[in-house]
Structure 1
Amino acid sequence: MTIPDDESTPRPAGADDPTTPPPASGPTPPAAPTPPAPPAPPAPPASDQGFPAAPPPPPAAHPASSASASGYPAPGTAGGPVGDPSVPPRTVNIAFWLYVVGAVLSVISGIITIATIGGQRDQFLRTVQNSNQTQGQNAQSVVDAVIAGATVWAIITLIFWAVTFVLFAFFMRRGANWARIILTVLTALSLLNILAGYGVGFVQFVATVVALVLMWLRPSNEYFAAVKATKVPRS
């Protein structure tokens, strides 16, 4: 015998709803597995202040092999100089000061030559008188003229070597290749003064030869090439 349900009896949800389908019979199928989440990218290392570290610097635009050890580009290579062509290398600076020393030695040699000529007047006079070509006042006039001419020539030579060595050495240190060529010619001509000034002329010749060699060494050649390529102001 069935007891009718009254309104106070609890009923399951959807029991009185005719539109609710009845529960399916049989076992419930298992749920599809959830794919694992991809791993998170590693965080950049933080600096001591809490900010990300700076990225590494980009590689150099030009290889270091394009420049020589002196800081100037090797002859025949493209690109601007790595070093500052306004600063001459050590070889050029030493050559400059050697030419200045050569100018000072030229002045000393000229002074010694002038003093030597004046002190030999009596010897020249006796030599002229013994030649039986001139006598008395004529011999003294000839000797005085010879001494005056030799003194003037010594002064001109003194000024010439002193001024030219310093002047062209100054332009050479600024990177003027034409001044280097002129100094090369002057160094060869200074061989004529090798016997002047009781050995002072020889010392001057040695100093200028050493300066000549330094001017044509590889660092000097690279410096002159860099100055010619850039045309920057030189000190």
Structure 2
Amino acid sequence: MTIPDDESTPRPAGSGEPTTPPPAAEPTPAAGPTPPAAPTPPAAPTPPAESQGFPAAPPPPPAAYPASYGNAAGGPVAAPTAPPRTVNIAFWLYVAGAVLSVISGIITVATIGGQRDQFLRSVQDSNQTNGQNAQTVVDAVIAGATVWAIVTLIFWAVTFVLFAFFMRRGANWARIILTVLTALSLFNVLAGYGVGFIQFVATVVALVLMWLRPSNEYFSAVKATKVPRT
């Protein structure tokens, strides 16, 4: 009697009965696209300085200030590059006054020498020689007048040119000295047969030009910079 085979009974290979294949593995689903990363939230703003008990910092200054604002704020004042026209004209008038002073001195010396005989006759007629030789007295007077004329010539020529030079550079003290010299030059009005009068007129015009508004602004600007200009 044949015992039917059950599933637990082994069967030899090639027995002719079909073998059931093992079930196939289920396919793995393909990976989908990677989802985008979540956006990073913005950083919290820093609280202002006032909230921490400190005052806010002042805004930065601008890169540059206008020249006028810099002067008003106490910044350096730009030095004038050249004297104004009024100062230049006054300078040349004082130079002309110095030249006229030389001419007036030469005329005075020549006049004194040419009037020796007239002086001699005047002394002899007045009998005021006190026993001295009249010619000696006249020669002494002429020599003294000549020396005085030469000293005056050199004084006015040198002082006018020297102080006019400093005045042109912006020195206010030179302007003041020239004002005094101009007043003193009134004593030379009658010298040199009218040349002294022309000298006085030239220096008076120069004096007025030195004290006009453009000249005052120039001297003030030079004084603010502490640098005399050439």
Q: TM-score, with normalisation over the residues of structure 2?
A: 0.67
Shift in CA distance, 66/95, structure 1 to aligned 2, threshold 3 Å: farther
**1:199 and 2:182 equivalent?**
no
- Residue 89 of structure 2: aligned partner: 94
Q: Hey, what does 1:150 align to over in structure 2?
A: 145
Aligned position for 1:49: none
Q: CA RMSD in A?
A: 2.7
| Counterpart for residue 164 of structure 2 | 169
Partners of 2:70 and 2:190 in 1: how far apart? 47
Kindly tell me the number of residue pairs found equivalent between the two proteins: 169
CA distance in 1, matches of 2:229, 2:220: 14
CA contact (8 A) 1:107 1:159 kept: yes
- Residue aligning to 1:141: 136
Tell me, in whole angstroms, the C-alpha distance in 2 between the residues paired with 1:127 and 1:206: 34
Q: CA deviation at 1:85?
A: 1.4
What is the aligned partner in structure 1 of residue 22 from structure 2? none
Amino acid at match of 1:145: A
2:179 matched residue in structure 1: 184
Note if contact 1:85-1:232 (Cα within 8 Å) is conserved in structure 2.
no
The separation in 2 between residues aligned to 1:87 and 1:230, in whole angstroms, is: 14
User: Is the counterpart of residue 219 in structure 1 residue 220 in structure 2?
Assistant: no
How far apart are residue 84 of structure 1 and its match? 4.3
Secondary structure at the aligned position of 2:133 is classed as helix
Matched AA of 2:146: T
Q: Structure 1 residues 189, 176: closer, same or farther in 2, change over 3 A?
A: same
For 1:233 and 1:170, how far apart are their aligned partners in 2? Answer: 11
* Distance verdict in 2 for CA 1:211–1:65, change over 3 Å: farther
Q: 1:102·1:207 contact (CA, 8 Å) conserved in 2?
A: yes
State percent identity of aligned pairs: 86
SS of match in other structure, 1:94: helix
Within 5 A, what are the aligned runs for 1:19-58?
none
- Report deviation, 1:143: 0.2
Structure 2 runs not aligned, ≥5 long: 1-61
> What is aligned with 2:205?
210
Gaps of 5+ in 1: 1-57, 68-76
Q: What is the CA distance between 1:232 and its match in structure 2?
A: 2.8
Contact 1:95–1:215 at 8 Å: present in 2 too?
yes
Distance 1:64 1:190, change over 3 A: same
Secondary structure at the aligned position of 1:133 is classed as coil
Cα separation, 2, equivalents of 1:140 and 1:211: 44
Match of 2:106 in 1: 111
Q: Does the CA-based 8 Å contact 2:77-2:224 persist in structure 1?
A: no
Task: State the one-letter code of the partner of 1:107.
Answer: V
| 121 and 216 in structure 1: CA distance in 2 versus 1, 3 angstrom threshold | same
Kindly provide the amino acid, as one letter, of the partner of residue 150 in structure 1: A
Equivalent of 1:131, from 126, 130, 143? 126
Structure with higher Rg: it is: 2
TM-score w.r.t. length of structure 1: 0.65
Q: Deviations over 1:52-77 (max 9, x none)?
A: xxxxxx9x94487999xxxxxxxxx7
Correspondence for 1:16 = none
